[in-house]
Amino acid sequence: MKAAQPWGGARYGLGLAIIFMFGLLVKIAIAQTNTTTDPSEARILNSIFQRWRISATNQWNISGELCSGAAIDSTSISDFNPAIKCDCSANNRTLCHITGLKVYALDVRGEIPDELWSLTFLDDLNLAQNYLTGTLSPSIGNLTRMKWLTFGTNALSGEIPKELGLLTELQSLSFGTNNFSGPLPSELGDLTKLTQIYINSAGVGGPIPLTFAKLQSLDTVWASDNAFTGRIPDFIGNNWSNVTALRFEGNAFEGPIPTSFSNLTSLTDLRISDLSNGSSSLDFLRNMKSLSKLVLRNNNISGPIPSNIGEYQSLSLLDLSFNNLTGRVPDALFNLTLLTHLFLGDNKLTGTLPAQKRQSLQTIDLSYNELSGSFPSWINGPNLQLNLVGNNFTREQIEQSDSSSLPSGLDCLQRNFPCNRGSPRYSSFAIKCGGPPIRSSDQTLYERDSEALGPATYFMTSTGRWAVSNAGLHSDRPNQSFTSFTSSQFTNTLDSELFQTARISAGSLRYYGLGLENGNYTVILQFAESEILNPPTWRSVGRRVFDVYVQGTLQLKDFDIKREAGGRSLTAVQRQFKARVSENYLEIHLFWAGKGTCCVPIQGTYGPSISAISATPDFVPTVSNQPPSTKKNRTGLIVGIVVGVGVISLVSLFAVYYLIQKRKQQKALEDEEFLGIDTRPYTFSYSELRAATGDFSSSNKLGEGGFGPVYKGTLEDERVVAVKQLSVASHQGKSQFVAEIATISAVQHRNLVKLYGCCIEGDRRLLVYEYLENKSLDQALFEKGSLYLDWPTRFQICLGVAKGLAYLHEESRVRIVHRDVKASNILLDADLNPKISDFGLAKLYDDKQTHINTRVAGTIGYLAPEYAMRGHLTEKADVFGFGVVALEIVSGRPNSDESLEEDKIYLLEWAWQLHENKCETELVDANLSEFDVDEVKKVIMIALLCTQTSPGLRPSMSRVIAMLTGDAEVAAVTSRPGYLTDWKFKDTTSFMTNHSSQMHNSSEGTSTAATTNYSPSGADTPMLSDIIGEGR
């Protein structure tokens, strides 16, 4: 029994310990619940958030207490945004100070409030990726506890305050991608605890201060694209021994590279480019065996590639292009274990290609060297990109080697471009860079340039008229695409489509006109910035900067497309040059010299971008300007054919003369009908469209609407189009028809289907539209097995349709009421952007009647009551149709469905039932697994507003846009429209279309649209099914 007593005492002691610990935890919990944010700091933060129009997330600021929830628990500040972190250890754990503040990528606008500098307990401040303007206050020196500080990617200006040097606890500093000016303050040298500094594209300049020699803890330095002058300081090699990543690209430094850099043995990422003057060698690399990425581009480096290059086994990227390297390409270089991308272009390397290559090395640029000889077997390896343009390989060497895997035309793209040299064939060329062929408004036919180029590739057309060569890898960009695309509309041009695609490059992009007749040429280059957005957003602060050479002469230095366009994106910029062709070729070279931002709006957004190129002679050409014929020269056969044809021609002469005169008379009549039309639409021949559609083959038929059948076709220039055959019975006179088509052609918007032109031959009337591969919205929404539209896509479709209608109603030079807004008249492009079709076609179908008897054009289910019953037409009729379409987008069902329960047959009625019962989300398509509840309710409320009985109660489409984007409040709708409460139901498909003199058309003189015409019902009482019922 005595032996058991110690154990019993232990249990008693353990129980007391548990009770004590429990009490302690309770006391801590009570203390935490009693903690309070410092009142002055709370006022400051609330004031800042109010000024910046942002608010706390539900993860903190619980019950109005800022320092609560994620702000004080173990949640990392990187896990929520906007975010604060607090330290609640003061005053016996009852007072909290704000130590961390993150407002990241929220597009906050305006200046930094002075109150911010009073939050002196901050040690972590992240305001990156906003649109902050103004200057940095010297009061920033108050934040002496600061460890991690970033203002990167904003629009801040002025000089960097020297008081920044007072933040001696700083470990990481970032103020890159801004508009600062002036030198770096020497006081920054006092930040001796700094391990990271990111100041690329900051706008600063001058020499790097000598005090920076004290920054011996630095690990990462990004300092590209500034105006730094002088030589790169020697102290970097002597003092920054811990640095692992160093970037000095695109500054104004002079060479050579300091020999002291050989001490930087910890470097894994070194990028220096575009040094002026002074020649360097590669000797300083001798101890940098840890390098993974080495970029020493355009630095006037001479001498051979180091013989011990095989020892650099960590190298994955090596770029030594645009230097003066000599000697052979070392065999060991092609056998490095991890090397995947190698750029040695534009040097003076000689000899042959290495005999062997590792499989991992897949990108090799050796263009513009002095290489020659036969090709090794590895050039036919899979997935290899090899650019050998501009070397000394002969046609015999290329043909004798097995080079079947290389793109054709390499023999024509060697030095001096030997093909057609001395025997020119062409006198012009036009290239649609990065995209499909396009005929512009001035009838220039731009050839396609849609080859999937890579970081080390070239391409020559089968006709040998032009070629392109690309070299360069987008840094840190996962998607290495070398074309850009947008469906947006562009300003300052009549040819928006010409700028919707572009060829982009990460380094060097060359276009060549080949086989040209010698003489003077006019070269026109077309540019537009489509990736860097318009302000005010952080996505607008990027700068794309590159140089342009024509025939080796620098024509544009530090060319910034957006700056040249007045600071606007999606704006066409054209530049014209004179060039002399003396050796039958013309070269246009776009070159990235390390300048511009690297990473806005995404990583790797930099380097050349061009939309189109054309060159035309300033002389009368003597060449055919046609590609070579593939037919063999068989003289005897040709003579026999010529004689036979001559005899037949004599017999047919009079008949031909008669036909020609008849055609001339017909053409004269056509030209007479075109008189008075400001902009004549492009006209296609019937035979051209018949060939494009396979003689209007049923296999090419896309569908048939009220205007007639629509066919898919491919034109001779390889454009894919949609050809609409208009019903013969509905034709107007030719001149009136052409006038209407000219009007429609002039109406262009990203959310309207583009009309390319028309065909008018005899009684034939055809329209040629752009082809939209994803067909119509009703097919996507209502047909099983078609496209899946998630909620964000549906919301953007709603917004796009609204923008298209607003343009027709309020922004177009010719105001247009569509009259038939419905899901089948909304088409989807490759990116699921909506485009409204069939706008402005109603006048092509209107009978020659007075206003006393006018046909209602539209589709039941989408027709506004006043238009359906009284023929009263305004733009508010389109607003009604939009409301119905919006409900269809939310619900994924048509506006009427007889297969459903009785209370759900009519979509509008069901939507009102759900709204009145406050269960609107039950309307949402069951196929949507996720959706934004607030956005869904907003769209439903807007749809109910748009479908009010009275046109005056419906919003304008510009107001709809404002409500969708949150720029305007959504007005409340409290009662059902009269057509849902007053009118009786009847299942009928009849519809009244002709009306007497009470019809009023407020859009007289504008183009309107129509589809199927329905027979009169003869009913005296309006029927609900006529308004919200059948058909779509």
Interval 407-441: pLDDT, tens = 999 999 999 999 999 999 999 999 999 999 999 98
3-state secondary structure labels for all residues of 505-548: CCCEEEEEEECECCEEEEEEEEECCCCCCCCCCHHHCCCEEEEE
Whether 264 has a pLDDT exceeding 70, the answer reads yes
CATH architecture of 103-207: Alpha-Beta Horseshoe (3.80)
**859: which DSSP letter?**
-
| Cα 818 from Cα 1008, distance rounded (Å) | 5
Rg, C-alpha atoms of the chain: 36
- Residue 640: enclosing H or E segment and its boundaries? helix 635-674
Q: What is the pLDDT of residue 445?
A: 95
Residue-range domain boundaries for the chain: 32-101, 103-207, 429-617, 686-770, 777-1005+1013-1028
Q: Which fold has domain 686-770?
A: Phosphorylase Kinase; domain 1 (3.30.200)
**What would the mean pLDDT of 41-54 be, rounded to a whole number?**
96
429-617 has CATH 3.30.870.10 classification: no
pTM across the whole model = 0.66
Interval 792-806: pLDDT, tens = 999 999 999 999 999
Q: What is the pLDDT of residue 757?
A: 87
Interval 336-378: pLDDT, tens = 999 999 999 999 999 999 999 999 999 999 999 999 999 999 9
Whether 1003 has a pLDDT exceeding 50, the answer reads no
Q: What is the pLDDT of residue 830?
A: 85
SS3 437: coil
Decide if 820 is catalytic. Answer: yes
Structure tokens at 791: 């909620």
User: With bands split at pLDDT 50, 70 and 90, how would you rate the model's confidence at 744?
Assistant: confident
Q: What is the pLDDT of residue 1011?
A: 33
Structure tokens at 525: 């280059």
Q: What is the pLDDT of residue 852?
A: 23
Whether 858 has a pLDDT exceeding 90, the answer reads no
Alpha-carbon distance values, 979 to 217, 868, 1018 (Å): 76, 12, 19
Q: Which of 766, 990, 728 is nearest to 845 (CA)?
A: 728
Largest CA distance in the chain: 140
Interval 563-578: pLDDT, tens = 999 999 999 999 999 9
103 neighbors 128 (Cβ within 8 angstroms): no
Q: What is the pLDDT of residue 838?
A: 84
257 neighbors 275 (Cβ within 8 angstroms): yes
Whether 842 has a pLDDT exceeding 80, the answer reads no
From the candidates 225, 346, 820, 838, which is the catalytic residue? 820
**988: which DSSP letter?**
-
Dihedral sign for Cα atoms in the order 422, 426, 431, 437: negative
Q: Of residues 231 and 650, which shows the higher confidence score? A: 231
Alpha-carbon distance values, 779 to 275, 302, 829, 926, 946 (Å): 58, 63, 13, 17, 23
Residue 604 φ/ψ, nearest 5 degrees: 80, 15
Q: Is 380 exposed, middle or buried (0-12, 13-18, 19+ CB in 10 A)?
A: middle
**What would the mean pLDDT of 474-479 be, rounded to a whole number?**
79
Alpha-carbon distance values, 1029 to 304, 884, 897, 914, 943 (Å): 81, 11, 8, 18, 16
**What would the mean pLDDT of 690-694 be, rounded to a whole number?**
94
Residue that is written with structure tokens 């274990």 in the block: 337
* Strand order from edge to edge, sheet including 501-504: 483-485, 501-504, 609-610
777-1005+1013-1028 has CATH 1.10.15.40 classification: no
76-115 b/e (C-beta count within 10 Å ≥ 16 → b): ebeebebbbbbebeeeeeebbbbbbbbbbebebbeebbeb
103-207 against 429-617: fold identical: no
Q: What is the pLDDT of residue 931?
A: 92
590-628 b/e (C-beta count within 10 Å ≥ 16 → b): bbbbbbbbbbbbeebbbbbbbbbbbbebeeeeebebeee
Looking at the chain, how many residues does it have?
Answer: 1032
Structure tokens at 959: 């107001």
Q: What is the pLDDT of residue 29?
A: 43
- Give percent of the chain above pLDDT 90: 66
Phi-psi category of residue 825: left, alpha or beta, with phi > 0 → left and psi -120 to 50 → alpha: alpha
Strand duo 172-174 + 148-150: pairing: parallel
